[in-house]
Structure 1
Amino acid sequence: MSQQRLQRERLLHHAADVLEVAGRLGRVMLTASGGGATHERMGPVDRIERSGLALRLAGVAHDADIDTTGLGAVILDRSSRMKDKVLPRLDFHGKDGGVRFSLVGLDGLEPFDAGIAGLRGMAAEAAEPVEPAARAEVAEGDPGAIPFEVARCAGVPVTIELRRDGLRQAWSGSVEAVKPAMGFINVMQPDFHLHLRAGAVGRWRLRADRAGLDGVELLAENARGELIGLAVRGPAAVLARRD
């Protein structure tokens, strides 16, 4: 087996079958991006519930619903490193070729490889270089930070959710800090990170939260008024007073 194949390979199995091994990979990060928002949940997957090609990844550190019907290739990539530690990942591509989301092994290569044993690869894939995006400074008063700062100041739990084609991932809890850095508004919790690019949000659209009579939902819009897939839910008495 070549070094290239060891580093990066396309798996033979359907995305739904690959996701079923997520509970055997140790601590994983499910990371998904859309519209300038990157939503990450981190920790072991406690439960996997499957119905046909739809799966739910659940537990203390995970809350994701995934419809795999629109997914294509699954690429196993062992090339990423943090210092001396390999951070292997599974990239789940849409049928258009773009990466919809990734599962990153936070415990390193050994438990990850043990967990995917039996999911063998096929053709080696050449890793494409990724050009770093230009980073703008987070301007004072950037509207993207408003609901997170409001929730932090009020000390009330909220739900932060990202939705994109075939994926819904959420985190619920109290926001401890909102940190602008490296061109992003960052909410950092032990089992959750949100990285929201500066200027990605033009305004928040307010609507009643159908899950609760006293709750509201804020939907992030870009400068063109288009929804970017990021939502914040919480008590109306807090979030509806965001201005």
Structure 2
Amino acid sequence: MSEPSSQSFPPAGIDGFLSHFVFTVRVNKGDLAGQVFSYTWPAAVQTVVRSEPFIYEGPEANHRVEFALPKGADLPTTLSEEDFIAIPPGFFEAGKETIWLQILNLDARGETEYGPMRCILGATFKREYPDIFQASFGAAQSLGDSGLPARLFFNPNGIFETPFGNLHTRPKALLGTRVDKVPPVGSNPELLGPIALDSVDDLRAAAKDGTALPETPAASLLALAHPIDAQLQADEGELFDLVERAISRTA
């Protein structure tokens, strides 16, 4: 029996919120090979654009949504189902209300015993690593027939800049089994499996030479949670610029 809706999905727009990362990483190569580290990073500001809600009718419907991107966000303006690189098993159900999402910007930072670390997604990722950029898409779908509560997932594509090299995430999904509001404040999306982290240098060399990536990635994320802490209380039209300014100040 499906769960009754308690709140409607909002119309298309942009959300800004505080979020942070809790993760465990294993280094697979180099002087620190075999070492496992766990960290909780300080909160960082993030922006996400959402589509208009629609009723998902299955892959044969060839759904395509448009994103109303803010000025300065040089990111994909449309999203179709084939653009998702990792969908949790059984996530999309025909007949349920759905919104599709894209991370606009995130620059999270933390200190470790070996030095500073940083994770970037969205516009900052594209600006600093344009040759290997991948967008970060996601979706929320009603647990009932429409509206909230819902479940949510993201494909976070980004770069980890670390004391043991700059690393690129391989495709995986973060899943939040229940969200009661949009933005999903209070939710805690988690990994469904480990994420391999490839050396940016290896990735570029493979693209240049047409060779395969090394079988063993440079590092692996063994656990990752992404608690959503609080909504940014600002006009929707300001949110992207607010986050851009916060990122440029700490760069």
Superposition TM-score, scaled by structure 2 size: 0.24
TM-score of the superposition, structure 1-length normalised? 0.25
Which structure: greater strand fraction?
Answer: 1
Whose RCO is larger (CA < 8 A, sep 6+)? 2
